[in-house]
Amino acid sequence: MPKQSRLLIVILVVVLSAVFWIYKSPPRLGLDLRGGAQLTLQAQTNPKQGIDKITPRIMETAKFVVEQRINGLGVSEASIQISGDDQLIVQLPGVSDPAQAERVLGNTAQLEFRKQKIGTESQLRAERQVLLDKQLKQQQLELAGNAEEIAKNKEDIQKSQNAIAELYATTGLTGDLLKDAVAQPLDAGQTNWQVALTFNDKGGELFAKITGELGGTGRSLGIFLDNELFSSPSVGPEFQGRGITGGTAVITGNFTLQQATDLSLQLRAGALPVPVKIVENRTVGATLGADSVQSSIIAGVSGLILVLVFMIVYYRLLGVVADIALIVYAIITFALFSLLGVTLTLPGIAGFILSIGIAVDANVLIFERTREELLAGKTLYKSVEAGFNRAWTSILDSNVTTLISCGALFWLGSGLVKGFAVTLGVGVIVSMFTAITCSHALLLAFISYPSLRQPSLYGVKTIGKVNNSSPTIDNSTGTIL
């Protein structure tokens, strides 16, 4: 069996297994294609608590907490990755508005139970009235929907809340001493909800001590979430001294089911080691993603057909060889995407379609060289061999420069850009391989059939019969004869 036939069989086997592989496990689609939300969270340093630098350990903890909170949302197949030194990338497939996730993730939810300071009873009443007024005003403003006034009033509310926080003293009973938090209906109609808390042993003891101090004094227990007073229950005189034992308590605050669930989730998931900020949000609706997939398939297929037709029209038989090599190229590259675990995004698909252009280029280079050799009167076999050999340095040099650009993109680019760099890079490497193996073996196999040796099939008038061993120079074209 001739060498090129063996090579062709190997290529056939590779292609068939590639097709099988694509069928069995198609490449994963990115969220821009299947719909979903991608949030980028950035960890912020917290000099107040002595955290001046974000360490990998902090990121691990933050990732764990974020995972917990996301799991609580019930999004299937959510993924969380650490990116760079201080960012987390959260992917939520199928979520078309991630507002709930953003609320739950963006909050540090520092829970603390505080004691009201002695002699502040009337002051607290007054401050709470001020706050209540402003909150009512806020509701009216939101109905009117004037963004500027709303922002101003929000600031006032913040000030008022800070003033209230001043009236309470810290106790050290914080969210990390909490074992569990669940949302519970407050009434039979289930319109009002509360959050029931269970403390661990240490938390239970502290809670008993605090409530014991406050019991019967008329001073309230302040439940603070992120420095905002959520609830300020008073402790009955029966608990004076001994306090509320058993390690359980409830937070009430006229919560809706949604609010109570969010709150319990934040509490349950524990506190983040550092505050995180959502710095990027890219959300694509599922139908929109499907539309993108469809339009890129149309673009890819029509691009490919145009190229295939052009090659046959211009290069005749050589074009057929190039087209087969091109299809082999497309199949192998696509199989590699799923084999390498490349996630296909929209720019990634563009990179792939573009790499078809590069794959063609290698063939064009070879064929132009082959044609030149034929015009110079060499035999078909010699021309093909010379075409491949001479084109090789050009192919290598030009592809290495493209790979340099891909490398720069991959190294420095963000998620979307990386996808493009990967598909283009993989495409360039595979195209070098298919051009020198597939096109070469096919062409050699073709020219072994006498019926495929007619000059017109190669776009020349005649084909040399013997190898001209003494080179002469044709000054009109400059090629060696």
Partner 1 sequence: MKLNVIKYGQIYLTASALAILVGLVAMVISWQTLGFPLRPAIDFTGGTRLSVELLCESGNAPSKTCGEPIDIGFVRAAIAEKGYGKATIQSLGQDGRGLSLQTGDLEVEERSQLQANLENILSKFGKIDVTKSQIQRVGPTIGNQLLTSGLLALILSFVGIAVYLGFRFQIDYAFFAIVALMHDVFITAGVFAILGLTMDVEVDSLFIVAMLTVIGFSVNDTVIIYDRIRENMKIWGEKSSFDDIVNLSVNQTLARSINTTLTTMLSLVAIFLFGGSTLKFFALALIIGFSAGAYSSIFNATILLASWRKRKTLTQQAI
- Touching partner 1, residues 350-389 (CB under 8 A): 350, 353-354, 356-358, 360-361, 364-365, 368, 372
Q: Determine which residue in the list 99, 132, 136, 340 makes contact with partner 1, applying CB under 8 A.
A: 99
Q: Determine which residue in the list 30, 93, 273, 347 makes contact with partner 1, applying CB under 8 A.
A: 347
Q: Determine which residue in the list 147, 188, 313, 466 makes contact with partner 1, applying CB under 8 A.
A: 147
Closer by beta carbon to partner 1, 229 or else 353: 353
Closer by beta carbon to partner 1, 252 or else 398: 398
Calculate the alpha carbon distances from 322 to 252, 316, 369, 392, 394 in Å: 73, 10, 14, 16, 18
Q: Determine which residue in the list 103, 137, 209, 453 makes contact with partner 1, applying CB under 8 A.
A: 103
Q: Note whether 285 binds partner 1 by CB under 8 A.
A: yes
Residue ranges in 49-88 that form contacts with partner 1 under rule CB under 8 A: none
Name the minimum Å distance from CB 355 to partner 1. 9
Closer by beta carbon to partner 1, 114 or else 382: 382
Q: Note whether 405 binds partner 1 by CB under 8 A.
A: yes
Q: Determine which residue in the list 216, 233, 270, 413 makes contact with partner 1, applying CB under 8 A.
A: 413
Name the minimum Å distance from CB 421 to partner 1. 8
Q: Note whether 314 binds partner 1 by CB under 8 A.
A: yes
Name the minimum Å distance from CB 136 to partner 1. 17
Total interface residues for partner 1 by CB under 8 A: 88
Q: Note whether 281 binds partner 1 by CB under 8 A.
A: yes
Contacts of 353 (CB under 8 A, 6+ apart): 296, 299, 300, 303
Stretch that binds partner 1, among 7-15, 19-27, 139-147, 248-256 (CB under 8 A): 139-147
Closer by beta carbon to partner 1, 360 or else 463: 360
Residue ranges in 200-219 that form contacts with partner 1 under rule CB under 8 A: none
Q: Determine which residue in the list 279, 454, 465, 467 makes contact with partner 1, applying CB under 8 A.
A: 279
Closer by beta carbon to partner 1, 98 or else 203: 98
Q: Determine which residue in the list 36, 98, 222, 427 makes contact with partner 1, applying CB under 8 A.
A: 98
Q: Note whether 424 binds partner 1 by CB under 8 A.
A: yes
Closer by beta carbon to partner 1, 361 or else 385: 361
Stretch that binds partner 1, among 237-245, 374-382, 397-405, 441-449 (CB under 8 A): 397-405
Judge whether 294 and 43 are in contact, CB under 8 Å. Answer: no
**CA–CA separation, 256 and 298 (whole Å):** 47
Closer by beta carbon to partner 1, 270 or else 413: 413
Of 434, 433, 425, 411, nearest to 337 by C-alpha is 425
Closer by beta carbon to partner 1, 267 or else 346: 346
Closer by beta carbon to partner 1, 445 or else 480: 480
Q: Determine which residue in the list 8, 196, 286, 312 makes contact with partner 1, applying CB under 8 A.
A: 286
Q: Determine which residue in the list 411, 449, 450, 451 makes contact with partner 1, applying CB under 8 A.
A: 411
Q: Determine which residue in the list 47, 74, 145, 450 makes contact with partner 1, applying CB under 8 A.
A: 145
Of 41, 49, 97, 64, nearest to 269 by C-alpha is 64
Write each residue from 226 to 255 as x if it is in contact with partner 1 (CB under 8 A), else as -, in one continuous string.
------------------------------
Q: Note whether 429 binds partner 1 by CB under 8 A.
A: no
